[in-house]
Structure 1
Amino acid sequence: MTLDPADQRGRAETFASLHEGPAFVIPNPWDAGTARLFTRMGFPALATTSGGLALALGRVDGANQVTREETLANIRAIASATHLPVAADLESGFGPDPGDVADTIRLAAEAGAVGGSIEDATGDPSRPIAGLDEAVRRVEAAVAAARALPFRFTLTARAENFLYGRPDLDDTITRLKAYEAAGADVLYAPGLPDLEAVRTVCGAVGKPVNVLAGGSDGVTVAGLAAAGARRVSLGSALARAALSAAFAAAQEIAEHGTFAFSRGMLTYAEMNALGAGSGEPPSAGGSPPA
């Protein structure tokens, strides 16, 4: 399904404007069903997750095992399942050259995304992070492709040091500043170790900063917002939460022959209602923090 151009422009303007206000949470569905669920929970926008998609496909994330075509199909399914803006996790752009990155931005927009992220990880264990000059050229290509679209595509540039064993905050900030100068709309350094690092990054750049949450129950949206975050995403955390629940349930059955996991579980009717896009979300607990 291709989005109506007017609908996509509206989603794009909504998404861009969210970054001008208070901090908001953007959850990461990994398929159409979870996109429907998170839409019904009251979040203002959604973002795809390469980790969640890799999990659903039985692949390893961050190792170039998921193709661009599979990623685009996932974007299309999620964008078609919601009325909300959808941003796309486009990994490192699916190709060795800046032109490949530009093509990926255009194709993601055609699939229904109104924003997307490009990272400086390579997927190559011998060289996990691209050199700065190379990474900047790729961001520049992404920016040029985004600006050529007929709507306001919000481009996020990611510095991946902390996810790949390079806990160098100074280099991370240098990279984010370079990506900001290259024209990125949003900056993102997943895996920052604590609120002080978040505060340092947010204070060092002039563009909105996305922060990855979900790895520690001691971190709150309010705390991240106070540290300067404008957008809070969850990456693969919700997909891993779902997998953890399925693993625990299967383990209980295999080891004990019991079904206690079924207590508090969505009923079959509730599941079908969610799939049909009708009714209220079970145990919604109110709107998420924004």
Structure 2
Amino acid sequence: MSKVDVFRALHLKRAQGDPLVLPGPWDAASARVFAEAGFPALATPSAGVAACLGYEDGATPADEMFAAVARIARAVDVPVSADVEGGYGLAPKELVERLLEAGAVGCNLEDSDGGVLKDAHAHAEFLAEVRSAAADRLFVNARVDTFVHGDGDPERAIERAALYRAAGADCVYPILAPAAVLPLLRSGIQGPLNMLARLDAEGPSPAALGELGATRVTFGPGLQRRATATLREIAAGLR
């Protein structure tokens, strides 16, 4: 079974309360830590990789992002999905080729640009072209930015998600959706549903998000930021 088939299978028939937990490595060393801990797959966070490379979130040049993803994918044997933001303006065929060359089995693609939601129908067409170019070689996770750059209306998120699923997206990701609306999202969205978990005490645990309907759980740049905070404490202690 290929890595993408393994990755796709990990999303299927998940028991309630047992979501697929995907840590977000920001470099090869962190990827090895997560793989050695037993996680069956990983999902890079664009913001975490940007911080590692010395860029602000959203400012990483495409070549550097793909190179970083390639280093991470080479460092581990488990499947790696890559957050490639909005696709860096690449045509779908080139975007797919760059992802496959980097060794990624999947990708996140967001539906906003510069803090503004894209036209959902136009974005669905883009996703359909990505799916056509990729066939079954990539697992496409369509980010829905209604809760971060829109009005936060769950029904609008469900409408956008339906368009993206119809276009061939394997999974949808309503980033920053409050846990309280997760049951509503789950009832209205077909297929795998990605939710963002916070690492502080205020956020629901991955298992709790699974109980509410999440198929998979990611952390965005949270793990990289936690590691940086720990390193800052160590550095302060050394002084």
Normalization by structure 2: what TM-score?
0.91
Q: Among 73, 83, 88, which residue is 1:89 paired with?
A: 83
**Identity, % of aligned positions:** 34
The answer for the alignment partner of 2:32 in structure 1 is 36
Q: Which runs of 5+ in 2 are unaligned?
A: none
Per-residue CA distance 1:11-52 (angstroms, 9 max, x = gap):
111101001132210100000000100000010101111011
CA separation in 2, counterparts of 1:93 and 1:38?
26
Alpha-carbon separation, structure 2, partners of 1:197 and 1:102: 35
- State the match for 2:184 in structure 1: 200
Pairing 1:61–2:41 present: no
Please give the alpha-carbon distance, in whole angstroms, between the structure 1 residues aligned to 2:112 and 2:237: 38
Other-structure match for 2:12: 20
Tell me which residue corresponds to 1:48: 44
| d(CA) in 2 for partners of 1:71, 1:202 | 32
Map of 1:233 onto structure 2: 218
Say if 2:117 is the partner of 1:129: yes
**Cα separation, 1, equivalents of 2:20 and 2:32:** 19
Contact 1:114 1:154 in 2 (8 A): yes
Structure 1 vs Structure 2 CA RMSD? 1.7
> How much does 1:132 deviate?
1.4
Q: How high is the TM-score relative to the length of structure 1?
A: 0.76
Tell me the residue number matched to 1:221.
Answer: 206
Give the aligned partner of residue 274 of structure 1: none
In the aligned structure 1, how far is the partner of 2:20 from the partner of 2:164? 22
Residues 48 and 225, structure 2, Cα contact 8 Å, conserved in 1: yes
One of 110, 122, 139 as aligned partner of 2:127: 139
Q: C-alpha separation between the residues in 2 aligned to 1:205 and 1:164?
A: 20
Please say which structure displays the higher CA radius of gyration: 1
Q: Match for 1:202: what amino acid?
A: R
Matched residues in 1 for 2:75 and 2:13: separation?
26
Residue identity in the other structure for 1:114: V
Q: Does 1:120 align with 2:87?
A: no
Q: Secondary structure at the match of 1:243?
A: helix
Does the aligned pair in 2 maintain the 1:105–1:116 contact within 8 Å? no
